[in-house]
Chain A
Amino acid sequence: MARNVSTQRKIVVTVVAWTIGILIFFPILWTFLTSFKTEAEAIASPPSLFFFDWTTENYHEVQSRSNYFLHFMNSVVVSFGSTLIGLIIAIPSAWAMAFSPTKRTKDVLMWMLSTKMMPSVGVLVPMYLLFRNTGLLDTRTGLVIVLTLINLPIIIWMLYTYFKEIPGEILEAARMDGASLTKEIIYVLTPMAIPGIASTLLLNIILAWNEAFWTLNLSAAKAAPLTAFIASYSSPEGLFYAKLSAASTMAIAPILILGWFSQKQLVRGLTFGAVK
Chain B
Amino acid sequence: MNLRTFLLGTCSAVALAGLAQAETLTIATVNNGDMIRMQKLTDDFTSKNPDITLEWVTLEENVLRQRVTTDIATKGGQYDIMTIGTYEVPIWAKQGWLLPLDNLGADYDVDDLLPAIRSGLTIDDKLYAAPFYGESSMVMYRKDLFEKAGLTMPDAPTWDFIADAARKITDKGNEVYGICLRGKAGWGENMAFLTATANAFGARWFDENWKPQFDQPEWKNALDFYVKLMNDAGPPGASSNGFNENLSLFQTGKCGMWIDATVAASFVTNPKESTVADKVGFALAPDTGLGKRGNWLWAWNLAIPAGSQKVAAAEKFIAWATGKDYLKLVADKEGWANVPPGTRTSLYANPEYQKAAPFAKMTLDSINAADPKNPAVKPVPYVGVQFVAIPEFQGLGTAVGQQFSAALAGQMSVDDALASAQKLTEREMTKAGYIK
* Chain A interface (Cβ < 8 Å from any Cβ of B): 38-40, 43-45, 65-66, 124-125, 128-129, 132, 137-138, 216-217, 220-222, 224, 228, 231-239
Contact = CB atoms under 8 A, between A and B. Distances in A.
B356 interface: no
B59 A236 contact: no
Contacts of B272: 38-40
A236 B251 CA distance: 16
B60 A43 contact: no
B434 interface: no
A132 B61 contact: no
Q: Name the interface size band of chain B.
A: 35 or more
B172 interface: no
Interface string B261-281: 101000100001111000000
A129 B66 CA distance: 15
A70 to B, nearest CB: 11
A237 B73 contact: no
Contacts of B62: 236
Given A39-B272, A221-B26, A132 B74 contact: yes
Nearest to B75: A132
Contacts, number: 92
A221 B26 CA distance: 7
Contacts of A65: 36, 39
B300 to A, nearest CB: 10
A contacts with B: majority SS:
loop
Contacts of A39: 272-273
Contact of B74 (A125, A221, A224): A125
Given A138-B78, A217-B66, A232-B60, A44 B252 contact: yes
Nearest to A44: B252
Given A125-B70, A221-B55, A235 B32 contact: yes
Given A40-B273, A132-B75, A220-B28, A231 B63 contact: yes
B14 interface: no
B403 to A, nearest CB: 21
A232 B29 CA distance: 9
B59 A232 contact: yes
Interface in B236-251: 242-244, 247-248, 251
Interface of B: 26, 28, 31-33, 36, 39, 55-63, 66-67, 70-71, 73-79, 188, 242-244, 247-248, 251-252, 261, 263, 267, 272-275
Given A220-B57, A231-B59, A237-B243, 16 more contacts: A40-B275, A43-B251, A124-B70, A216-B59, A217-B67, A221-B57, A232-B60, A234-B31, A235-B60, A235-B61, A236-B60, A236-B243, A237-B261, A238-B244, A239-B247, A239-B273
Contact of A232 (B58, B242, B243, B263): B58
A213 to B, nearest CB: 10
B242 A217 contact: no
Kindly name the residue among A66, A125, A216 whose own CB sees the greatest number of chain B CB atoms within 10 A.
Answer: A216
Contacts of A238: 32-33, 244, 247, 267
A45 B52 CA distance: 47
17 contacts: A43-B252, A45-B248, A125-B70, A128-B70, A128-B71, A132-B77, A137-B78, A138-B78, A217-B67, A220-B26, A221-B26, A231-B59, A235-B32, A236-B242, A236-B244, A237-B243, A239-B267
A68 to B, nearest CB: 13
Given A228-B59, A235-B60, A238-B32, A128 B76 contact: yes
A228 B55 CA distance: 14
A239 B266 CA distance: 12
Contact of A216 (B26, B67, B261): B67
Nearest first, the 7 A-B pairs at minimum CB distance are A232-B58, A221-B55, A220-B78, A234-B60, A43-B248, A231-B63, A132-B76
B31 A233 contact: yes
A132 B71 CA distance: 9
A216 B63 contact: yes
Contacts of A228: 57, 59
